[in-house]
Amino acid sequence: MNAPDQLIVNIVGAGAAICSVTSFVPQLIKILREREAEAVSMRMYLLTVSAFTLWTAYGVMLGSWPLVASNVVSLGLSAAILVLTLVYQRRSPAERPDAPS
């Protein structure tokens, strides 16, 4: 692969990594701010955490540290959302922020 082609590949990869990593930030901020995760799909985040775990392992096996780094960060963010979802969905209705006082 010549240098201009490699540059395009690297730009596409960097763009994909930035999109993957930042895609979880708005959801995480919303959950932390509102202290509730009722609308979050736990099954979806279980699958997402599993996928990022496998992508990380794949990157390690390939020796592709950019792939590993972006997927480790995405794994951390999606795992945080999953944990908060578990915590907030297990609260009793009286413990929720919108419960009557």
| Residue 72 pLDDT exceeds 70 | yes
Q: Which uninterrupted H or E stretch holds 34?
A: helix 25-34
pLDDT in tens, 2-61: 887 888 988 998 899 999 999 999 999 999 999 999 999 999 999 999 999 999 999 999
Closest by CA to 36, choosing from 100, 94, 87, is: 87
pLDDT of residue 26: 95
Look-up of token digits 């915590």: 87
**Domain 3-93: which CATH number of 1.20.1280.290, 3.40.50.150, 3.40.47.10, 3.30.70.360:** 1.20.1280.290
Mean pLDDT over residues 83-90, rounded? 92
* Single-letter residue type at 100: P
Measured between alpha carbons, how far is 40 from 27 in angstroms, rounded to an integer? 9
| Residue 101 pLDDT exceeds 80 | no
Residues contacting 87, CB < 8 A, separation 6+: none
Cβ(21)–Cβ(75) below 8 Å: no
Helix axes 3-22 and 65-89, enclosed angle (nearest 10): 10
